[in-house]
Amino acid sequence: MESLMPVNFSVEDAHAAADLDATVESPEVPKVEELDNWAQEAYSLDVSAATTRQRPWASR
Amino acid sequence: MFGTSRWKDVTKDKRTYRFGVALRAIIVVSDIKGGGSLTLPIVAAKVEIGDARATAQLLVRGYKGKLAGALPAWQTFGVDSYAQYMKSVSSIQQTILDDETNIQPELLATTVISSTLPSSGVSVGFVYGLHAIAEGSSLAHAVEKLPSSDAEVVTTVRAVYKAHIGEDERATPDPEQRQEAEEQLRGLHLTRGWFH
């Protein structure tokens, strides 16, 4: 199964970012009462993992 | 990062779109001293005693109601501020998930974008390979130092070397090849001395 990529933009922007044809139809947005999945996430990080690369992709 | 969401996945033309309402809080920690697990209370304690710095970003999507009064008063991420921040976030979370009249589902995630991205193995292998070339390492040495045995990463590193250096695993990159790899990294740099 393909993984879902979190986004902060609209369906139209996602289609444009993926170079999809402009004729690709957008899905119908579900109604509030149809939102039937709930999730709560929390992540923690170990200092050793956080500091291994220090400035992960910093410029020289 | 922590967050809460309420959503529904919609599939159309083999593409999946996740619509809903979500709250995400991202805490960015820097200049950490000491070791151990980085849970939020520990981050707050480290900030309090000057052993870390932290900034926060709060993102709400799919909610059109007013939240200005509920937003946390952000100062520093010390122990007291942390407690206040978490209280505010919990309050916003309850508001946006319960207030159905102001929920306006928005796109939260989709496979439309992910299908166009290379896998993480290819991405890691490509950057590692370029960095190894820029550092003057031979393919044999780079593979030996590779901290992963993931086949896709190794295959990608080999492909990067083949494209830039050629077939000889023992050949070291010349200055021009190193410079070219450096330019392709566009300033990105692995700070750990992998190849020394």
Q: How far is A36 from chain B (nearest CA, A)?
A: 6
Radius of gyration from C-alpha coordinates of chain A: 18
The set of residues, in sequence order, having a beta carbon less than 8 Å from that of B185 and lying 6+ positions away, is B127, B130, B131, B134
B11 chain-A contacts, CB cut-off 8 A: 27
- Decide which of B57, B79, B112 is a domain's last residue: B112
- Does pLDDT of A53 surpass 50? no
Check whether residue B172 and residue B94 sit in a common domain: no
Assigned domain for B195 exists: no
- Decide which of B112, B138, B153 is a domain's last residue: B112
A4 chain-B contacts, CB cut-off 8 A: 9, 16, 18, 109-111, 114
B190 chain-A contacts, CB cut-off 8 A: 53
Check whether residue B18 and residue B66 sit in a common domain: yes
Check whether residue B145 and residue B88 sit in a common domain: no
B55-79 exposure pattern, b = at least 16 Cβ within 10 A, e = fewer: ebebebbbbeeebeebebeeeebbe
3-class secondary structure, A42 = strand
Check whether residue B11 and residue B101 sit in a common domain: yes
Nearest to A31 by CA among B6, B66, B4, B11: B6
Q: How confident is the model at residue B75 (pLDDT cuts 50, 70, 90)?
A: low
- Does pLDDT of B120 surpass 80? yes
Between B168 and A3, the higher pLDDT residue: B168
Chain A interface includes B17 (CB < 8 A) = yes
pLDDT for the residue B177: 93
Assigned domain for B176 exists: yes
Check whether residue B24 and residue B103 sit in a common domain: yes
Check whether residue B77 and residue B128 sit in a common domain: no
Test the B interface: residue of A1, A2, A4, A25 with most B CBs within 10 Å? A4
Between A56 and B91, the higher pLDDT residue: B91
Question: Which domain does B174 fall in, by range?
Answer: 120-184
How high is the ipTM of this complex? 0.75
Which among B6, B188, B192 has the least Cβ separation from residue A35? B6
A15 chain-B contacts, CB cut-off 8 A: 112
pTM of structure: 0.60
Q: How confident is the model at residue A44 (pLDDT cuts 50, 70, 90)?
A: low
Q: How far is B138 from chain A (nearest CA, A)?
A: 22
A7 chain-B contacts, CB cut-off 8 A: 107-110, 113
Contact between B38 and A47 using a beta-carbon 8 Å cutoff: yes
pLDDT for the residue A58: 32
Check whether residue B70 and residue B160 sit in a common domain: no
The letter for the amino acid at B125 is G
- Quick: pLDDT tens for B76-111: 677 777 888 888 888 999 999 889 999 999 999 999
Between B127 and B187, the higher pLDDT residue: B127
Assigned domain for B70 exists: yes
- Quick: pLDDT tens for B32-59: 777 777 777 888 888 888 888 887 788 8
For the record, the structure tokens of B137 come out as 């390492």
- Quick: pLDDT tens for B126-181: 999 999 999 999 999 999 988 878 888 999 999 999 999 998 989 999 999 999 99
Q: What percent of chain B has a predicted confidence (pLDDT) above 90?
A: 42
Check whether residue B105 and residue B125 sit in a common domain: no
Contact between A9 and B38 using a beta-carbon 8 Å cutoff: no
pLDDT for the residue B42: 82
pLDDT for the residue A55: 38
Check whether residue B14 and residue B108 sit in a common domain: yes
Check whether residue B87 and residue B180 sit in a common domain: no
Nearest chain B residue (CA) to A18: B113
B106 chain-A contacts, CB cut-off 8 A: 10
